[in-house]
Amino acid sequence: MQVFDVHRGDGPIVLGQPHGGTYVPEDIADRLNENGSQLADTDWHINRLYEGIWPTATVVQSHVHRYVIDANRDPAGVSLYPGQNTTTLVPMTDFDGKSIWQDGKEPTEGDVEARRQAYHAPYHTALAAELDRVKAKHGIAVLFDCHSIRSRIPFLFQGTLPEMNIGTDGGATCAPAIEAIAHEFSASSPYSTVLNGRFRGGWTTRHYGRPSEGVHAIQMELAQSAYLTAEAAPWAYDERKARRLRRWLHDILDAIEDTALELAS
C-alpha cells in the first residue's frame, strides 16, 4: 500500500491533505473496537473536494487514517491545545471522547514509534520536499492545509462551528498579506467564517509556517455540513453543495497565489 501520493504542480501553493485517507493496516484494524471501526473522524471526501480545484497547485495526500497515526500532530506527542480536549498522535478516543480500541489492545509506546516511522515521517518528508521545490522555483511557498470536521462536536467545542475556519496560529505562520487575503475572500463568501478561532492551525501549519524564510502556512478547516449531504454515515458527498463551495475555495487559492507571487517579486 502506498501510504501517500504526490501530484506536482508548477505554482507556489502546496495542498496538504493529512486526514482524507481511510487505510488501516489489517493488524491495526483488528485491534479497533466497533466504534473505532466506523472511522467516523475522517476528513470525508476532502481529496475529492479539492481535486483539480487549482491546477498549478501541488497536492500531498496521505492515505493512512488518523486512527493509525495522526499526521497533523507533533511527532513528539506535545498537545496542540493545552488545557482543551483534543486527540493525540495516536488517538485513544474519537472526537466524542469515546474509546476506539478494544480493551487490552490499545497502542503501546512501541506501536506509536513504529507507526511514526512507517507513516508520519514519510508523509512529512514528502511534504517538506515539495515545499522546498516550489520555494526554489518561485522564491516563496504557501502550504494550504486542507481539513474538514463535523460542525457540532460538544467534546471539542461548544455550539456550531463556522463553515470556514482559517488558522495561522495568530498570524505567526504566514505573512499578514496572505492571512488578510484569505480571510477577506472567505468573509466575502456566503459561508460563516472565523480567523484563529477554535482551530488555529495544527502541527503541520505551525511546523512549516516560517514567513521569514519564505514558507507560509494556512490551515482551512471546513465544516462538513458545507459539502456533505449529512454529517453522519454514509457520509455522502453532495455534488451541489460541493460545487458551490469549490467555487469559493478556487477564488481563495487564486487570491493567495497572486499575493504570494507579489511578495516574492
Report the chain's terminal Cα–Cα distance, integer Å.
41
Domain ranges of the chain: 4-264
156 three-state secondary structure: coil
Q: Is the pLDDT of residue 80 over 90?
A: no
- Residue 82: what pLDDT? 60
The rounded mean pLDDT for the chain is: 95
Q: Write out the three cell numbers for 255.
A: 487570491
Quote the CA–CA distance of 238 and 176 in Å, as a whole number: 34
Question: In the prediction, which pLDDT does 87 show?
Answer: 73
> What would the pLDDT profile of 168-224 be if each residue is shown by its tens digit?
999 999 999 999 999 999 999 999 999 999 899 999 999 999 999 999 999 999 999
Q: What pLDDT, in 10s, does the model give residues 36-75?
A: 999 999 999 999 999 999 999 999 999 999 999 999 999 9
Instruction: Give the closest residue to 175 by CA, choosing from 144, 205, 217.
Output: 217
4-264 folds as Aminopeptidase (3.40.630)
On whether the CB atoms of residues 92 and 31 are closer than 8 A, the answer is: no
